[in-house]
Amino acid sequence: MIRITQHTQTNRQTILQIEGDLVGPAVAILAREGWLRLRAGSVLVLDLSGLQIIDEAGVALLQDWAEPVLRLQGASRSIQLLLEGHGLAVEEGGKPPY
């Protein structure tokens, strides 16, 4: 199960907080929500502090959105290491301000 909460949206960026498991059907849900924001021209900032599990499809989705249109923040150490192992940069320094 996944929960996606939009905290901030400006004409330059959108912050989405991701909670739960990014696996199976949840990947399609995030894909739909993310692409809506990306098509509007926003940089997508994902707060991953509530992310528990991510599968290969979830990692592939994040790779599709990689820099410069995606920023990842707040991941647990295990999620951070997994994502970095797949070439995704995870910003340190806590959760985005909202």
Q: Which residue has the higher pLDDT, 39 or 92?
A: 39
CA-CA-CA-CA dihedral for 7, 16, 88, 13, to nearest 10: -60
Calpha distance 34→73 (Å, rounded): 15
The answer, yes or no, to whether residue 91 has pLDDT greater than 80, is: yes
- Identify the pLDDT of residue 97: 58
pLDDT tens-digit profile of 58-89? 999 999 999 779 999 999 999 999 999 999 99
Mean pLDDT of 31-45: 91
Calpha distance 91→53 (Å, rounded): 18
| Tokens standing for residue 23 | 């696996």
Topology of domain 2-91, CATH: Transcription Regulator spoIIAA (3.30.750)
**Partners of 73 in the beta sheet?**
47, 91
The answer, yes or no, to whether residue 94 has pLDDT greater than 60, is: no
Over pLDDT 90: what percentage of the chain?
74
pTM of the model: 0.90
Calpha distance 16→4 (Å, rounded): 6
